[in-house]
Amino acid sequence: MKDLKNAITKIVILGVATLLLVGFVPTAVLAAETDSDIVTAETDGDTAVSEMDGSAPYTVEFTYNGLQYVLPGDSSTELSEILDRVGLTGEVSAEEVSDESLFSADKKEGKWIVTAHRAFHTDEWMKVLIDGVEYEITVTDDQELTWSALQEQFNSASTDAENPTTITLSGDVTANEGDSTLLIPADRYVTLDLNGHTIDRGLAGKDAVVNGNVITVSGNLTLTDDNTDNPGKITGGKNTSNGDV
Does 136 lie in the same domain as 36?
Answer: yes
Q: Which residue did the predictor score with more confidence, 189 or 55?
A: 189
If pLDDT is split at 50, 70 and 90, which confidence band does 45 have? low
- Residue 198 and residue 194: Cα distance in Å, rounded? 7
Give the CA-trace dihedral at 141, 143, 47, 99, to 10 degrees. Answer: 0
Does 191 lie in the same domain as 118?
Answer: no
Question: Count of residues for the chain?
Answer: 245
- Single out the residue in 118, 140, 162 at which a domain terminates: 140
If pLDDT is split at 50, 70 and 90, which confidence band does 70 have? very high
In a domain, 231, yes or no: yes
In a domain, 5, yes or no: no
Does 124 lie in the same domain as 66?
Answer: yes
In a domain, 242, yes or no: no
Does 155 lie in the same domain as 132?
Answer: no
Global confidence as pTM = 0.57
Burial 133-143 (b: 16+ CB within 10 A, else e): eebebbbbbeb
Does 66 lie in the same domain as 166?
Answer: no
Does 45 lie in the same domain as 130?
Answer: yes
- Single out the residue in 140, 168, 196 at which a domain terminates: 140
Does 133 lie in the same domain as 61?
Answer: yes
CB under 8 Å, gap of 24 or more: what pairs does 46-51 form? 47/85, 48/81, 48/85, 50/75, 50/77
Does 44 lie in the same domain as 93?
Answer: yes
Give the count of domains, the chain.
2
In a domain, 244, yes or no: no
In a domain, 240, yes or no: no
What are the tens digits of pLDDT across the range 156-204? 899 999 999 988 888 899 999 889 999 999 999 999 999 899 999 999 8
Residue 63 lies in domain: 32-140
Percent of the chain with pLDDT over 70: 75
In a domain, 109, yes or no: yes
Does 69 lie in the same domain as 42?
Answer: yes
Task: Report pLDDT for 2.
Answer: 36
In a domain, 18, yes or no: yes
- Residue 234 and residue 229: Cα distance in Å, rounded? 17
Comparing CA positions, the residue from 63, 29, 69 lying closest to residue 45 is: 29
Task: Report pLDDT for 119.
Answer: 84
**Stretch among 13-17, 134-138, 222-226 having the lowest mean pLDDT:** 13-17
Amino acid at 216: T
In a domain, 243, yes or no: no
- Single out the residue in 83, 105, 140 at which a domain terminates: 140
Does 149 lie in the same domain as 103?
Answer: no
CA distances from 170 to 62, 118, 142, 192, 231 (A): 16, 18, 7, 12, 13
Does 130 lie in the same domain as 42?
Answer: yes
What are the tens digits of pLDDT across the range 142-155? 777 889 889 988 99
Does 164 lie in the same domain as 131?
Answer: no
Contacts of 205 (CB under 8 A, 6+ apart): none
